[in-house]
Structure 1
């Protein structure tokens, strides 16, 4: 699965070019935004909530997530108006990392407001990852897809871009196969995340 991402192919875009390219395709006539997220910790650029979390202010991080409710709701009203499905598959290792605990609280808001999120235990994809972990993939309809690139500090640094229709169609099929195996987000959150105390941040 996801073989086209494993040989380093694709046009490499630095972060500003990736964001511009993504925005251009996103504004077009697309029906699906699909994401696979595999890494268990990242550095989120431009997120006040993540900054609070990283500084050890868990209560502040949660308040700042909730403060985004109106803007997130407006975003998903727009996707609904466009007929755009936003599906995210989050791969999770146990025990849950502090970053993932923070991210899941952010996803809780997004799930409430319209994002279709499922969660898949990393142990369920061991056979798929024999040759390495799944890539961090973003697909925009049948137009373009990206393998996101991160730097040494785990900050988003850009992406490799793919525009071959056959590769995109295959990736969407493979995504949907894994997505169907995932657990619905609300059930996962209530069982695995809600009972946790504030995460220990180093």
Structure 2
């Protein structure tokens, strides 16, 4: 049996699309980039550096092949400090070709959502991401993959419902 492709390889294998739904108000708060930002550093961040960021290079390469990458974030308002940071560094994602939208949580109440954040590749493979209560990646297995058609349909429908209501990054203001 062949070994499953590494997470970053899924982007290289994508033919049409990769969509990501984020539903938490904080992630990886131990991240040195976030800690520096929280302490007042608003200068250079590896999340903004198009020349050296492996993630941004992967996004540029993927979108450069014609694959559409969309990311939607459901956030509580007022937003948390982490979401303010995430909004700040999202300009790097957008510059690398990602389309990003934000949906205030109060506008998502009637949308059926899966229990975890996910990536959906080519409307055929879902990768759920598992986090601890404080937003760190779970040590018990940070991802779960499925091609189950019912799960794919749930995730696709949820993402498209969020995307339709969400505000484009350039128009979403954090306070």
TM-score by length of 2: 0.79
Q: CA RMSD in A?
A: 2.8
Q: Offset at 1:67? A: 5.5
Matched, 1:178 2:162: yes
Q: Offset at 1:44? A: 5.3
Task: Specify which of 10, 16, 23 is matched with residue 25 of structure 1.
Answer: 10
- Residues 49 and 62 of structure 1 are in contact (CA less than 8 Å); yes or no, is this contact kept in structure 2? no
Q: What residue number does 1:70 align with?
A: 51
**Any gaps of 5 or more consecutive residues in structure 2?**
none
> Based on CA coordinates, which of the two structures has the bigger radius of gyration?
1
Label 1:69 to 1:57 Cα distance change in 2 as closer, same or farther (>3 A): farther
Q: What residue number does 2:108 align with?
A: 125
Task: Specify which of 80, 86, 101 is matched with residue 63 of structure 2.
Answer: 80
1:105-135 per-position Cα deviation (integer Å, ceiling 9, x unaligned)? 1112212332100111101111236xx8853
Label 1:177 to 1:67 Cα distance change in 2 as closer, same or farther (>3 A): closer
Q: What residue number does 2:127 align with?
A: 146
Q: Offset at 1:28? A: 1.5
For these two proteins, the number of residue pairs brought into alignment is 168
Give the secondary structure class of the aligned counterpart of 1:91.
strand
* More helix, by proportion: 1
**Any gaps of 5 or more consecutive residues in structure 1?**
1-16, 197-202
Runs of 4+ in 1 over 6 A off after TM superposition: none
Matched, 1:49 2:33: yes
Matched, 1:90 2:45: no
Aligned equivalents of 1:76 and 1:133: distance in 2? 25
